[in-house]
Structure formats: C-alpha cells, structure tokens
C-alpha cells in the first residue's frame, strides 16, 4: 500500500483561485480559540491586581528601604501599543515581500496565523503572571505617595511594624494598580514573540545557517529583528518602567512562544532542509473531508524525506533564497548535517545500511541512495522516484541566481 494515498480530485483546489472558505474552515477552531484567548487576555489586563502586596517604606531611622523603587514616573520611550504594532507589522511586511517567490496564499495566511499564535499566547501568558504575581515598578513610591512621614515611628504590620500595604497610598488608583504589575514586561513579551518569529523565518527563507556559506547581509538581516527586540526591551530600563528581571522574563516568554508557533507552522526550526516547508493541515472540526492545497503537501502530514517536497519545484516548496543550489537542481534538500532527524532513520535514510549509499559530490554529479539508472531530465538531471531506491543528480550548466 503506498505511503501517500492519492488525493480525491474533488478536494483539490484550482490553481487559479484560492479557496478562502476552505482555509477558514480548516483553521476555524484556531481563529475562534485566538479570539477567546484575546478576550481573556484583555479582561485580565483590565482587572485590578489580584494579590495584596506588602512593602516597606522607611527604616526606623527614616532611610528609604528600597531606593530602586523611588524613581519618578516617566512616559514610555516606546508605548505598549507601538511595541505591539512593531511586533506584528514588521514581520507582516516581510511575509508580504517574500511572497514574490513563495507565491502561495495558503503559505502567506498560515505564516501570519503562526505569528498571531505567538503574539496572542505570549500576551495572555504574561498578563496572567502580571495579575496573579506582578511586582513593584521602579517608580512605585512616586506613584503610591504614601502618607507615612519620614522619621515617624513604624506603624505598619509584620516584624517591627515595618510593612505596609496599598491602603497607605494617596496617589491615582489606576497608576497604583499599574505600578503593582511590573513582572513580566509586556513590551518585551510582545517584541520577542513577534521579532524572534521573524528571525526564525529569515533563517529558514534565506538559509542563514545551512550547508553553504551565504551572503553576509543575510546574517545581518537575521540579527536585525533580535536587535530590535532587545532595544524595545532595554528601553524599559531607561524609562524606569521595569527592572531588568521583568524584561528578561518577558523575553523568555516571547521567545518560547515564537519557537513553538514557528514549529507548529513549519516542518523544522533549525534543520535547513525543512524549516521553510509549511506543514499541511487537511482536516479540522469544521472540515472533516481531507483537503489538499495545490501548492502544498499531498498528505495529511509531512514525511521528512529529503527532497520529498521536490527540491527543484517552485513556490512554497522552495525557500526565498536561490543560493546553495535552491531552485536550480542542486538543492540542499537532498543533504543533511550530523544530528538532523533523518540521519537517524533506520532505513531509507541518508546513512542507513541495507545497501543505501552515501552522498558524494564531484565534477560529474552527486548521488543519494543506490546508484541505479534513472530518467534523464533537463539540465543534466537524472532522477529516480523516492521509493527507497534513491535519487541521482547530475550537474548541468545552470544560470543560477544568488539571492
């Protein structure tokens, strides 16, 4: 029985029109869940802090206990709405730009959906922690404006009556609520959730880390979103809205959600053979009959066979770059680095036994699997079906691009 059953013709979309209704049904549960998560996060964000937090103000000699909480209240250098817009629209711009070669509405919509998964999950994660745990911002004393005079005998609670709660504050209620929710940083969470996702996308589409030595500007472009996220997060320690550990906690949350959302969307995070390949979704609660997009996989799952998406095909089967042989018959999809998942396969893999050969490259060509006769193709290319017998590739003359 073949590994991949032939897809029914009635469930294959026309190449001339994108079935947006099918895409919505396939991802409908995700869209509803994201809306509910967004509503939940907004409700928690608007709620007052849950815990009753105790804090000291003065020592018995009148010295301020925590001068690091006595900074003046200042405006954000980068407002929270600006950080959120940057975290979404900067990746969105590059997703649009890269469609010049990806040319797949399914790829475009699903890639953006993965970005939203990262941003929404990170936002809800951090507002829960803010609400239930929180902490005192660096400007807490200035916002609280406690009615406890310096040098007066301690009149609070706890040991030596040194501890007080917000009942001694005389400042603005909303500012006090906000100053009790310092950890984690929402700016940092949003910035890393969106911009780390973009950095992973750059690595996948430009093959920054792969089997060839890419152009240096690609490395710069890979680090640019990470620099942007660090600058957004670091600005919060300058305007004294957060402590360094608040920023670090937000960065960790955003990075984790970006990694998981990217891996849910694409076949790998760092394996350069697969990390540009969109993972298929063929059924859902709202669409039970398997459906396969014309530019996507012909199966309900991705096989992780080297070159299984067609290393010389176009559209979303190829990354944006054309360096390293991508798109001109010398695709890196047929090779792998030590430690990659497919290297460990017991049969049919790159290093398995049972007569399966190894990759060799020379002036006349390279071979994957058993060296058997194949069918001659264009540009000096010879192929065998991916049925365990392998693929043989010959080097012909190519007018390759290098972007």
101-146, pLDDT tens digit by residue? 888 899 999 999 999 999 999 999 999 999 999 999 999 999 999 9
Q: What is the pLDDT of residues 344-368, one digit of tens each?
A: 454 444 443 333 333 333 333 333 3
* Three-state DSSP state, 96: helix
Q: Which residues neighbour 283 within 8 Å (Cβ) at sequence distance 6 or greater?
A: 26, 289, 290, 291, 300
pLDDT of residue 242: 95
The bridge status of strand 382-383 relative to strand 375-376 is: antiparallel
Residue 294 lies inside a defined structural domain of this protein? no
Residue 52 lies inside a defined structural domain of this protein? yes
Q: In this structure, are 337 and 259 located in the same domain?
A: no
User: Please, what is the average pLDDT of the chain?
Assistant: 80
The bridge status of strand 55-56 relative to strand 163-164 is: antiparallel
CB 388 within 8 A of CB 369: yes
Residue 145 lies inside a defined structural domain of this protein? yes
CB 221 within 8 A of CB 228: no
CB 154 within 8 A of CB 148: no
Residue 271 lies inside a defined structural domain of this protein? no
The bridge status of strand 382-383 relative to strand 163-164 is: unpaired
Q: In this structure, are 195 and 54 located in the same domain?
A: yes
Distance CA(94)–CA(151), nearest Å, equals 59
pLDDT of residue 336: 63
Which has more confidence, 369 or 187?
187
Q: In this structure, are 254 and 339 located in the same domain?
A: no
Give residue 314's pLDDT band: very low, low, confident or very high (50, 70, 90).
low
Q: In this structure, are 33 and 126 located in the same domain?
A: yes
Most confident stretch, 193-207, 262-276, 330-344: 193-207
Token pair, residue 260, equals 């998981």
Residue at which a domain ends, from 225, 249, 265: 265
| CA–CA distances in Å: residue 213 to residues 85, 220, 321, 325 | 34, 14, 12, 12
Token pair, residue 36, equals 């509910």
Q: In this structure, are 361 and 248 located in the same domain?
A: no
Residue 27 lies inside a defined structural domain of this protein? yes
Q: What is the pLDDT of residues 179-236, one digit of tens each?
A: 999 999 999 999 999 999 999 999 999 999 998 999 999 999 999 999 999 999 999 9
Q: In this structure, are 117 and 195 located in the same domain?
A: yes
Residue 295 lies inside a defined structural domain of this protein? no
Domain hosting 377: range is 317-394
Q: Which residue do the tokens 């890639």 mark?
A: 111
Residue 312 lies inside a defined structural domain of this protein? no
Q: In this structure, are 258 and 345 located in the same domain?
A: no
Q: In this structure, are 261 and 376 located in the same domain?
A: no
Please state the rounded mean pLDDT for residues 270-292: 87
pLDDT over 70 (residue 61): yes
Q: In this structure, are 203 and 112 located in the same domain?
A: yes
Counting the structural domains of the chain, the total is 2
Q: In this structure, are 259 and 360 located in the same domain?
A: no
Lowest mean pLDDT among 207-211, 281-285, 364-368, 375-379: 364-368
Q: What is the pLDDT of residues 74-89, one digit of tens each?
A: 999 999 999 999 999 9
Distance CA(361)–CA(324), nearest Å, equals 14
pLDDT of residue 376: 43
Residue 302 lies inside a defined structural domain of this protein? no
Distance CA(219)–CA(208), nearest Å, equals 6
Region of 187 on the Ramachandran plot (φ > 0 left; ψ -120 to 50 alpha; else beta): alpha
Q: In this structure, are 118 and 233 located in the same domain?
A: yes
DSSP bridge pairs for 394: 365
DSSP bridge pairs for 146: 169
Residue at which a domain ends, from 230, 246, 265: 265
Instruction: Strands of 243-337 (E only): list them.
Output: none
Q: Which residue do the tokens 């996507």 mark?
A: 296
* Three-state DSSP state, 77: coil
Q: In this structure, are 58 and 184 located in the same domain?
A: yes
pLDDT over 70 (residue 6): no
Q: Which residues neighbour 218 within 8 Å (Cβ) at sequence distance 6 or greater?
A: 202, 206, 207, 208, 321
pLDDT of residue 8: 43
């Amino acid at each position: 029985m073949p590994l991949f059953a032939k897809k029914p013709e009635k469930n294959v979309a026309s190449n001339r029109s994108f079935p947006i209704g099918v895409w919505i049904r396939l991802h409908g549960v995700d869209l509803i869940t994201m809306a509910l998560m967004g509503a939940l996060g907004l409700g928690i964000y608007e709620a007052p802090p849950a815990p009753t937090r105790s804090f000291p103000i003065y020592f018995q000699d009148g010295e301020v206990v925590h001068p690091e909480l006595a900074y003046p209240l200042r405006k954000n250098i980068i407002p929270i709405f600006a950080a959120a817009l940057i975290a979404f629209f900067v990746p969105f711009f590059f997703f649009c730009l890269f469609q010049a070669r990806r040319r797949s509405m399914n790829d475009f919509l699903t890639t953006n959906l993965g970005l939203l998964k990262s941003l929404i999950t990170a936002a809800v994660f951090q507002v829960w922690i803010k609400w239930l745990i929180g902490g005192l911002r660096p400007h807490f004393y200035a916002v609280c404006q406690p009615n406890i005079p310096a040098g007066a005998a301690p009149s609070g609670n706890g040991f030596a009556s040194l501890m007080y709660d917000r009942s001694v504050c005389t400042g603005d209620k909303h500012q006090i609520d906000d100053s009790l929710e310092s950890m984690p940083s929402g700016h940092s969470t949003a910035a890393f959730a969106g911009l780390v996702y973009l950095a992973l996308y750059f690595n996948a589409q430009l093959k920054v880390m792969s089997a060839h030595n890419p152009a240096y500007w690609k490395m710069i472009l890979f680090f640019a979103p990470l620099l942007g996220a660090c600058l957004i997060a670091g600005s919060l320690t300058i305007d004294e809205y957060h402590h360094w550990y608040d920023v670090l906690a937000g960065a960790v949350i955003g990075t984790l959600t970006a990694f998981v959302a990217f891996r849910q969307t694409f076949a790998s995070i760092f394996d350069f053979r697969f990390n540009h390949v969109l993972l298929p979704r063929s059924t859902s609660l709202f669409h039970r009959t398997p459906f396969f997009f014309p530019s996507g996989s012909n199966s309900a799952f991705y096989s992780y066979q080297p070159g299984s998406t067609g290393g010389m095909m176009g559209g979303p089967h190829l990354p944006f770059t054309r360096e390293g042989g991508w798109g001109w018959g010398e695709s890196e999809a047929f090779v792998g680095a030590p430690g990659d998942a497919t290297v460990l396969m017991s049969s049919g893999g790159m290093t398995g036994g049972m007569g399966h050969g190894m990759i060799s490259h020379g002036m006349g060509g390279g071979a994957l699997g058993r060296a058997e006769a194949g069918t001659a193709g264009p540009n000096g290319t010879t192929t065998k079906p991916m049925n365990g017998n392998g693929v043989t590739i010959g080097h012909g003359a190519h007018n390759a691009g290098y972007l």
